[in-house]
């Protein structure tokens, strides 16, 4: 650990992690809207920056372990709605005779509340019952409908999608498209930061890529994005039709959540975050969206530097070492 701790600058003249207050102060003093904080460890400082970069209006619920490892960008349920105390989910529905119903035109039989993903799934007659199942539940999926049939169809559709996902191929199968992606940055956030990235293919190591990131604003996050871009490019080369699923393993939750949770909102809001500031690294995010196309990608988070010898940890270490070596070559 640096003697004086680590200073994380999420918004300033230059963003990144600094080891002295003097360096940090130069980035934030008299800078409108600056965001910075001191931490004991470098990982905490990086997490602060990552969290700011991905700031959304969606509430951040505590992630149960079993729900935070894998994220699919296909067959995804509607996102959880942001709820205020005593607020019911907003909805617009159309009845069989074409009458449009909104929150101001309650159906004569009352609303039916469908919970497709929550503590308990099913159809409920009151919002009070449904709210218990979805409030603060990570990625809860729910909606209200004017008829019971529509509510049940919503729940069943989600169940079908989930069953389809459970039938995904095993990434350890040598016939699958699998990539372990990692980025590395030396003196991250500084002007002359040296960065590198690596994309490792465990089933075909001759495809492996390890490159230095040569640009004025090189950062660890940009290196992570470049690694994922290499994975998509290789998948498109081997499978031009995009019919095969691509597995991308990464230790960057910012990358994973950007591509599976936030990207749609950013595009709708003209690449602005909830606080009105521009989304960082828009250029690379747009390239990722374009390269992905209609391909199904399964994003899998893997912990870094575990020292374990299991299949995931082993290949993640290979990617980490390759990215670091590339950064040192700058």
Of 145, 166, 187, which one is at a domain's C-terminal end?
Answer: 166
pLDDT for residue 246? 96
pTM over 0.85: no
The overall average pLDDT reported for the chain is: 80
Q: Where are the alpha helices (H) located in the chain, listed in sequence order?
A: 21-28, 42-53, 127-134, 148-166, 220-238, 253-257, 263-268, 282-292, 311-328
Claim to verify: residue 147 and residue 49 sit in the same structural domain: no
Closest CA to 130 of 139, 138, 119: 119
The residue among 128, 134, 132 whose CA lies nearest residue 155 is 134
Last residue of a domain, one of 131, 166, 201: 166
Q: What is the mean pLDDT of residues 180-198?
A: 85
pLDDT tier at 324, thresholds 50, 70, 90? very high
Q: What is the CATH number of the domain that holds 35?
A: 3.40.970.10
Domain count, the chain: 3
45 with 70, same domain?
A: no
Q: Which tokens go with 12?
A: 């300033």
Mean pLDDT of 59-68: 35
Q: Verify that 113 and 29 share a domain, yes or no.
A: no
Residues 181 and 324 occupy one common structural domain = yes
Is 59 among the domain residues?
A: no
Q: Which domain holds residue 31?
A: 6-53
**Residue 111 pLDDT exceeds 60:** yes
Same domain, yes or no, for 312 and 202? yes
Average of per-residue pLDDT across 216-237: 94
Do 190 and 323 lie in one domain? The reply is: yes
Specify whether 183 is located in the same domain as 285: yes
199 pLDDT above the threshold of 60: yes
Residue-wise pLDDT for 14-49, tens only, equals 777 878 888 788 778 877 778 888 888 877 777 787
pLDDT at residue 108 in the model: 74
Q: Which of 166, 195, 226 is the last residue of a domain?
A: 166
Q: 97 pLDDT band (50/70/90 cuts)?
A: very low
Q: Are 123 and 69 members of one domain?
A: yes
Task: Say if residue 137's pLDDT is above 80.
Answer: no
């Amino acid at each position: 650990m640096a003697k004086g701790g680590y200073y994380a600058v999420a918004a300033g003249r230059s963003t990144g992690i600094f080891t002295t207050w003097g360096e940090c102060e130069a980035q934030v003093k008299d800078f409108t809207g600056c965001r910075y904080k001191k931490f004991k460890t470098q990982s905490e400082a990086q997490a602060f920056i990552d969290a700011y970069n991905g700031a959304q209006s969606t509430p951040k619920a505590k992630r149960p372990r079993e729900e935070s490892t894998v994220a699919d960008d296909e067959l995804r349920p509607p996102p959880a709605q942001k709820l205020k105390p005593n607020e019911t989910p907003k909805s617009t529905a159309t009845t069989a005779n074409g009458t449009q119903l909104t929150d101001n035109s309650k159906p004569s039989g009352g609303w039916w509340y469908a919970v497709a993903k929550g503590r308990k799934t099913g159809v409920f007659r009151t919002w009070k019952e449904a709210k218990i199942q979805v409030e603060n539940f990570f990625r809860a999926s729910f909606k209200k409908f004017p008829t019971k049939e529509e509510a049940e169809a919503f729940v069943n559709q989600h169940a079908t999608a989930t069953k389809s996902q459970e039938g995904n191929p095993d990434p350890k199968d040598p016939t699958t498209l699998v990539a372990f992606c990692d980025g590395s940055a030396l003196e991250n956030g500084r002007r002359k930061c040296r960065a590198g990235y690596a994309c490792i293919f465990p089933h075909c190591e001759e495809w492996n890529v390890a490159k230095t990131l040569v640009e004025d604003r090189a950062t660890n996050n940009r290196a992570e994005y470049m690694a994922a871009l290499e994975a998509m490019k290789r998948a498109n080369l081997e499978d031009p039709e995009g019919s095969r699923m691509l597995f991308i393993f990464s230790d960057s939750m910012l990358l994973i959540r950007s591509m599976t949770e936030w990207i749609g909102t950013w595009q709708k809001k003209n690449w602005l975050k909830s606080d009105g500031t521009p989304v960082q690294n828009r250029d690379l995010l747009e390239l990722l969206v374009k390269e992905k196309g209609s391909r199904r990608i399964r994003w899998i988070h893997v912990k870094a530097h575990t020292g374990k010898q299991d299949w995931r940890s082993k290949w993640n270490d290979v990617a980490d070492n390759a990215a670091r070596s590339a950064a040192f070559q700058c």
